[in-house]
Amino acid sequence: MKLSRRDFLKLGGATLIAVAGGSVFRVVDQGVFSVGQGVAYEPWTNWRDAATAPERIVAAGILASNPHNSQPWLFRITDSAIDLFAVPERQIGVIDPFRREMYIGLGCAIENMRLAVEAEGFIPTIRLMPDPTTESHAASISLASALPVTSDLYTAIPNRHTNRAAYDMNRAVVEYIFDGINSLLTESNVSLFWFKDESARSKFGEAAIAAAEALIADEQQSMDSHLWWRHDWDELQESADGITLDVQGLGSVITPLAKFMPDLSRQQNDEAFVKNVREVMVPTASAFGILAVRDGMNNVQRLQCGQTWQRIHLWGTTQDLAMQPLNQMCERVDREHQLGIEPVFGKAVGALINDDGWYAIMPFRLGYPTVEALLSPRRGLDKVVRH
C-alpha cells in the first residue's frame, strides 16, 4: 500500500507540526508523501521507454537485486552487444571483502538482461568473465535477432522487491512452491539447500541471529554497512542508491513517523537491525534457503548464483511470495578469512549445509507477505551506461 497525503492525515497529520520551546516548526517533507517518486525511482516505471533495445535491456538490468543497493555496475553498449563491468569503487567495504556479493549482484543484473533480451526479440549469447585478464569484465552479451519472447519472469521485473517485514505465519509455503523453485536451478555449479522443518529452521535462525550480532560488534563492518544508509530524502534522490527507511518493512504507520524523526545513530540503527532479525525476520520465515556453489571464490559461479537468485525471486514474485537475502552469516565467514581469525561462522555455515562439496554463498528467507515491499532507489541509465 502506498501512503497518500490524505491517508497520512487520517493517521494523525498533527505530527506534521512539531512544537518546541514555544516555536512552531514545519517539519520538512522527508518523502513521506512521495513514496516511490522522484528521479531516483523513475527507473521502475520508465524501464521500457528508452529509445534503443540495448538501453531498454540495461534498464531491466539495473532493477536487479544487488548488495546494499550499491549497484556496482557499468554497462557498455553497442547496437548488437552489451558488456557488463564491475565497479570496485562501489564495493561495500569489509562487509564483502572478497567481492562475493558484488559478483552475485552482477549475476542478478545479467539474469534480468537475459529476460529482456528475449522480450526485445533477440537470442543472447552470454559469456561470463569473458576476459581472464580483466576481473572487472563480468559479462559480454551479444544479440542475434529472433522472435520476441515475453516471459512471466520478464513481466515480474518491476514488481520484485526485497521484503524485510514479518511474513504471514498463518500461511505455510507448500511443496509445490519448493518444487517450482528447485526447477529453476539450471546451472550444475549452483545448488540449493532448504531449511523447512522446525529443527532445520531453528538451526538456520540461530546462525543468522548470531551473525547479525557479530557483524554489528565488528566496528568496521558496522561502519561500512552504515555508509549505504540513506535517511535524507534529498540525499537519496541525488545518490539513487543505498538502503532507505521505506524498504525496512516497518509498515504504513511507522514508516512515515520514522521519516519525521531525526536520523538514528549508527549504533541505534545496528541495534534495531539485530532486534528485527531476532524478532521478525527469523521467527516469521516459513522457510530458509542457502544457495551454494562448488567454488566460493570463482566469479563465474558467483555470477551464476546471482542469476539463479534473481530467477528465484522473480518466480517467487509471480507466486505472491515474499523473499529477502540474509547474508550476515556469509559476511562473517568472509570477514573471518580476511582477518585470519577463528572460523566460528565458517564452521557454523559448513555445518548447516553439511556437504563438503558445496560452499554457501547466498542465504535467504521466504514466506507470504503481510506488508507490501516498497521500491528502492536506482541510478538511471545516464549514470551507468557508456556508449
- The contact set with ligand FMN (CB under 6 A) reads 65-69, 101, 104-105, 108, 161-162, 164, 243, 247, 324-328, 376
CB of 249 to ligand FMN, least distance (A): 9
| Gap between the Cα atoms of 368 and 172, Å rounded | 8
Which single residue is written with the C-alpha cell 552479451? 141
CB of 262 to ligand FMN, least distance (A): 23
| Gap between the Cα atoms of 156 and 313, Å rounded | 9
CB of 358 to ligand FMN, least distance (A): 17
C-beta of residue 285 within 8 angstroms of C-beta of residue 196? no
In the chain, at which residue ranges do the beta strands (DSSP E only) sit? 17-20, 23-26, 73-77, 81-86, 122-128, 137-145, 190-195, 229-230, 243-244, 287-293, 322-325, 359-367, 385-386
CB of 231 to ligand FMN, least distance (A): 15
CB of 130 to ligand FMN, least distance (A): 21
C-beta of residue 245 within 8 angstroms of C-beta of residue 374? no
Amino acid at 196: K
CB of 378 to ligand FMN, least distance (A): 8
CB of 256 to ligand FMN, least distance (A): 19
Q: How many CB atoms lie within 10 A of CB 351?
A: 10
CB of 24 to ligand FMN, least distance (A): 37
Residue placing its CB nearer to ligand FMN in the complex, 143 or 274: 274
Please list the residues that pair with 261 across neighbouring strands. Answer: none
Query: How does strand 17-20 pair with strand 23-26?
Result: antiparallel
Query: Considering Cα of 77, then 82, then 83, then 86, what sign does the dihedral take?
Result: positive
| Gap between the Cα atoms of 193 and 243, Å rounded | 28
Q: Phi first, then psi: give them for residue 329, nearest 5 degrees.
A: -65, -40
Counting every residue written for the chain, the total comes to 387
Query: How does strand 73-77 pair with strand 385-386?
Result: parallel
Which single residue is written with the C-alpha cell 520514522? 258
| Gap between the Cα atoms of 171 and 306, Å rounded | 28
Residue placing its CB nearer to ligand FMN in the complex, 30 or 221: 221
C-beta of residue 125 within 8 angstroms of C-beta of residue 110? no
DSSP designation for 2: P
Residue placing its CB nearer to ligand FMN in the complex, 122 or 193: 193
CB of 218 to ligand FMN, least distance (A): 15
Q: How many CB atoms lie within 10 A of CB 338?
A: 12
| Gap between the Cα atoms of 225 and 211, Å rounded | 14
C-beta of residue 163 within 8 angstroms of C-beta of residue 369? yes
Residue placing its CB nearer to ligand FMN in the complex, 122 or 302: 302
DSSP designation for 369: B
Instruction: Record the cell numbers describing residue 215, joined without a space.
Output: 557483524
DSSP designation for 158: G
Amino acid at 229: W
CB of 212 to ligand FMN, least distance (A): 9
